[in-house]
Amino acid sequence: RMQNSRSKPCSCPSLKMREVASMYFTMVAAFLVILVVALQGSAPRQSDFPYKVPLDPQGLLELSWNVSYPEQAVHFQLLIRDLQFGLLFGMSDRGEFENADLAVLWSDGHNSYFGDAWSDAKGQLHMDSQQDYQLLEARRAPEGLYLLFRRAFSTCDPKDYLIEDGTVHLIYGILEKPVRSLQAINISALHGGLQRVQLLKPNISIPELPSDMKTMEITAPDVVIPSQETTYWCYMAELPEGFPKHHIIMYEPVVTAGNEALVHHMEVFQCAAEFDSFPHYNGPCDSKMKPDRLNYCRHVLAAWAMGAQAFYYPEEAGLAFGGPGSSRYLRLEIHYHNPLVFKGRHDSSGIRLYYTASLRPYDAGIMELGLVYTPVMAIPPGEDSFILTGYCTDKCTQLALPAAGIRIFASQLHTHLAGRKVVTVLSREGRERQVVNADGHYSPHFQEIRMLKEVVAVFPGDELITTCTYNTEDRSRATVGGFGILEEMCVNYVHYYPQTQLELCKSAVDPGYLHRYFNLVNRFNDEEICMCPQVSVPQQFYSIPWNTFNRDVLKSLYGFAPISMHCNKSSAVRFPGEWEKQPLPSITERLREPGPRCPPAPGPQPAAPVPLNLGQLRRD
């Protein structure tokens, strides 16, 4: 009987194809309306934009972004909490508003527009003939206006900024009055500023974390942030008595809610093991009250800068702390950037360390590459890009590295105020093989430990060459190498495993050759440069008249004179061997600069702004 009923023709009313289609499209349309309403009412999922940074000191502009390496593009989400009559957002070489590449939202009081623009050397705005900031969505939400837009790393438009690895200087400006047109915007009258970030974060997979992992927070004890623009705050913490050896396997920032725009960067240092105790201290790092002994707390355990995420060690390695031969004392240093001079802000920010007693196969180590801190390396005044290079030679790596080599997984670049670019290249048998880390828009105000996109293997006999580019256009006398903030450094702290005895692999020009330079300059110039042995190297540099000849000869000297190599063990003792008057490594083959990858042209997009319906923008 069941079978019979099944075989009967269906008595349902038959639907014509047109009606089915009509119902289908009505359902789709209804779904889309629901979707649009839902989108308008809620912010996008945070997971879509894993990186976040406040642009302005009040935190009214919040930038989130993600990076797509397959698409070679960045997706930006800008939250404007207090929209007035629009805003400029963009990128420039060092954070200037001239020669900048900009996305602009503006209103004439009735209608709103979005467009890709650029500013010339005088700061005048122009609509870009190629619209490469692609607006995806503009949406109001209870917390403010969200703008979502996309930008390819490289657009092959000469007016556009090339987004590269390393530091990017982001700029913003708020329009407080309606403007007739893009060209009518006066950049110099804007309320604006800059924020530095690493836009192209490495796409690394997060290692599995052990079940016995513990956390420890090294945080400021409810500090009142001083009401001045810049403060470096120091706080001493200590590990429990008898704390055994552990591995740090990750760390992340702990930032007090509301202070996200004030906490600029933070570092945790371990103190030197040769002292049994360190005094307690909680105060500004430059205070006369700070005990001198705190200067012996320089071994970096963790470093974070604004916009950085959690830092993970590779699965095979951890950073050792605790146990015999390791100090119990730690120094937290926080840089507060408070340009609006807020008063009475309390802060308990710091760094959360994740550590394990189940030691991983390898201890991680930190090695210093670059130039020795010495005045024999100097930069003449008035230079726009003077280059100094520090070497870690094949002779040193041959002696100090294990046969299986080491693996570099992270790097922190460091110069003082004149530094503009830093790059370390691995060279093997005279041929440059690989860039270890490079920052073509380096800023001394933004130094973070960066995980590398790919681990770099270094073998005995390899060379690591670190080059720094400096700008001294605002200086009237020579800048010498040294520890002072107006002296210079050129360093790459590389994080690697397995740890070796090699802590420092750096060079400087041979002092004897520099003495010959001073002799030559003295013979060539009428002005007497005192060559007396009692006159210090900085004094001799300060007394040089910086004509073209003296500049060029110094450049040539650094490019060919033999070097003094520092191939040092942890104890600041050199490895045995002859390290003076070493020949400069010769490079027979350079790495080719990769040309920019141009995305397929989306067809000539008209150089016209996109009109937006944001309703009447408020008048103050």
Residue positions annotated with a catalytic role: 232, 414
Burial class (CB in 10 A: 0-12, 13-18, 19+), 606: exposed
Q: What is the H or E stretch that residue 38 is in? A: helix 17-41
Bond from prior residue into 402 cis (ω within 30 degrees of 0)? no
d(Cα 433, Cα 179) in Å, to the nearest integer? 52
CB atoms near residue 41 (< 10 Å): 11
Asked if residues 568 and 370 have their Cβ atoms less than 8 Å apart, the reply is no
d(Cα 46, Cα 43) in Å, to the nearest integer? 8
d(Cα 572, Cα 567) in Å, to the nearest integer? 9
**217 closest CA partner among 270, 260, 255, 264:** 255
Q: Tell me the residue type at 576.
A: P
Burial class (CB in 10 A: 0-12, 13-18, 19+), 70: exposed
Place of tokens 């009081």: 109
DSSP-derived secondary structure for 235-273: EEEEPPTT---EEEEEEEEE--TT-TTTEEEEEEEEPPT
Asked if residues 426 and 433 have their Cβ atoms less than 8 Å apart, the reply is yes
Query: φ, ψ for residue 142 (rounded to 5)?
Result: -55, -35
CB atoms near residue 443 (< 10 Å): 18
d(Cα 387, Cα 420) in Å, to the nearest integer? 10
Asked if residues 125 and 116 have their Cβ atoms less than 8 Å apart, the reply is no
d(Cα 308, Cα 447) in Å, to the nearest integer? 11
Asked if residues 306 and 265 have their Cβ atoms less than 8 Å apart, the reply is yes
Integer angstrom CA distances of residue 556 from 26, 94, 101, 509, 559: 77, 29, 37, 12, 5
